[in-house]
């Protein structure tokens, strides 16, 4: 089958891929931002049925399904047992992950959650050694090394997008081997469809940046300007010592 990066654009990709019949599988899509919404668009174009989290955990299916797991499905407060969005973003260290409950029911993870050091990982590396770790493939679209997906051991490439991680030794292996989980972690994933990515990026520049460029002394542009006329911008003065030593 034709590789995604060899297709002309998304429209061509749709005609190439989206009439294939997928085997019965269970897919967990995580996150609620742009990345996750892009994943959901693909799920729907592929005709995969969405199910509620409760049904995903309790029912059997004879066709491919996906569940969309957002903040309240993935995290809970350590003490109160409640998820509050604003508090989570302010104090993520006070929360724990609930993703473990989905692991025994999931074949594929499509990860679109935002992650930083204080946010709990979806699971921990030792989970790979457990008998109920059913996950076979993880597409870490947000691609944080050792981040929300701890077995993301670093970037893969468009030419060689998938590597394996041994479930016992945690070392990187060739993909598709018994006893491993396969990881897709391409850092420059939009380049799979460069025409669409470039067009979208250009449209966003025209819509949100060009008007500010036309204005004089615009704070948005000033704060985004690292160097102007050979001098570091005020917002980047902290880099002066580093720059002068190079």
- Assign 79 to helix, strand or coil: coil
In this predicted model, what pLDDT tens digit does every residue of 217-231 receive, in sequence order? Answer: 788 788 888 888 888
Can you give the three-state secondary structure of 120-181, one letter per residue? CCCCCHHHHHCCCCCCCEEEECCCCCCCCCCCCCCCECCCCCEEEEECCCCCEECCCCCCEE
Going by C-alpha positions, the residue among 161, 163, 184 that lies closest to residue 175 is 163
Least confident of 13-22, 27-36, 118-127, 147-156: 13-22
Give residue 133's Cα distance to chain centre.
20
Distant-in-sequence, close-in-space partners of 83: CB < 8 Å, separation ≥ 6:
71, 72, 75, 76, 77, 95
Predicted local confidence at residue 239, as pLDDT: 84
Predicted local confidence at residue 233, as pLDDT: 84
In this predicted model, what pLDDT tens digit does every residue of 115-137 receive, in sequence order? Answer: 999 999 999 999 999 999 999 99
Question: Domains, the chain, ranges and CATH?
Answer: 4-192 (3.40.50.720), 194-244 (no CATH)
In this predicted model, what pLDDT tens digit does every residue of 68-118 receive, in sequence order? Answer: 999 999 999 999 999 999 999 999 999 999 999 999 999 999 999 999 999
């Amino acid at each position: 089958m034709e590789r995604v990066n060899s297709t002309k654009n998304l429209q061509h990709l749709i005609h190439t891929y989206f009439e294939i019949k997928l085997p019965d599988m269970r897919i967990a899509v995580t996150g609620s931002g742009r990345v996750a919404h892009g994943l959901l668009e693909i799920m729907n174009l592929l005709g995969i049925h969405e199910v509620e989290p409760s049904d995903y955990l309790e029912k059997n299916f004879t066709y491919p399904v996906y569940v969309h797991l957002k903040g309240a499905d993935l995290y809970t407060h350590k003490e109160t047992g409640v998820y509050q969005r604003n508090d989570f973003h302010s104090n993520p260290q006070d929360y724990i992950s609930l993703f473990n409950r989905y692991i025994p029911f999931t074949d594929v993870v499509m990860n679109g959650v935002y992650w930083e050091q204080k946010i709990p990982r979806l699971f921990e590396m030792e989970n790979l050694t457990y008998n109920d770790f059913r996950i076979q493939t993880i597409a870490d679209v947000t691609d944080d090394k050792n981040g929300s997906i701890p077995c993301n051991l670093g970037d893969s490439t468009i030419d060689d997008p998938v590597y394996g991680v041994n479930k016992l030794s945690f070392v990187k292996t060739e993909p598709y081997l018994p006893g491993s989980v396969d990881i897709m972690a391409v850092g420059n994933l939009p380049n799979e469809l460069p025409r669409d990515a470039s067009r979208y990026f250009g449209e966003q520049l025209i819509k949100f940046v060009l008007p500010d460029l036309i204005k004089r002394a615009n704070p948005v542009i000033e704060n985004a300007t690292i160097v102007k006329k050979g001098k570091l911008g005020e917002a980047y003065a902290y880099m002066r010592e580093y720059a002068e030593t190079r």
